[in-house]
Every structure is written in C-alpha cells, then in structure tokens.
Amino acid sequence: MSNPRYRNGYRRREVQAYYRSRKSDCYICGRPIDYTLRPPHPWSFVVDETVAIANGGRVCKANSGPAHRWCNAVKGTHTLAWARAEVKRRLSGGKPSVAMKPSDFEAVDW
Ligand SMILES: [Zn+2]
C-alpha cells in the first residue's frame, strides 16, 4: 500500500477512535465535544491536524487534537496558538475578521 491518501484515511480513523473513546474536550476552545453530533453540525467532532497537512503536517496523535468542526474551520491552516486566540475572541463576541458564524455552516455542503 503506497497510496498516502489511503494511509492517512486509516491513520485518521485510528486517531478519531482514540479521542472518541476518551471523550476528549476540544483542544482549541477547551469546551466539551458532544460526540453524538453528526457532521455537518458545527459542534460535531473532527480531528484537527495541529500542523495542517497542506503545511507538511502528518496524520498522527502527536500532530492532532480533538476539535469542534467550527473551531477546526476557524483554524484552517493557521497555527494552534492563533486559532485558540481567534476562537476565544469570536466566542466572546469579538468582531470576527471573516464573516463566519455557526449558522453559516448549515448551508455548506461538506
Ligand atoms: Zn471547540
């Protein structure tokens, strides 16, 4: 098996199962994750790659954390430190730098 996409899919499922079994809190906003929510719900669970794959990150526990879909989307390819500050700002009612609210996700086709 030399297809990296396949390998990543396998790894990703392993990492997902790990966080799911631990019922870990979101490592970006620090709030609990409801693991029963399904995508595309903005507060459903996703595995975030700490260093984005696009930036050379790898799919493994050391480079990932449990996150809300919304928090993951805010982070994008930014650093974890940036995302934590940005999510905190947005959740506290700060003016978002990009127009994005949880309700915006309902129209998005994931
Ligand atoms: Zn979160």
Give me ligand 1 centre to Cα 3, in Å. Answer: 31
Give me ligand 1 centre to Cα 30, in Å. Answer: 6
Residues 2 and 69: their CA atoms lie apart, in Å, by: 29
63-75 pLDDT per residue, tens: 999 999 999 999 9
pLDDT of residue 51: 93
User: What domain range is 47 assigned to?
Assistant: 4-107
Return the CATH number at 76: 1.10.30
Q: Please state the domain count of the chain.
A: 1
6-64 pLDDT per residue, tens: 667 888 899 999 999 999 999 999 999 999 999 999 999 999 999 988 899 988 889 99
Tell me the whole-structure pTM to 2 decimals: 0.77
Which residues make Cβ contacts (< 8 Å) with residue 23, sequence separation at least 6?
Answer: 32, 33, 35
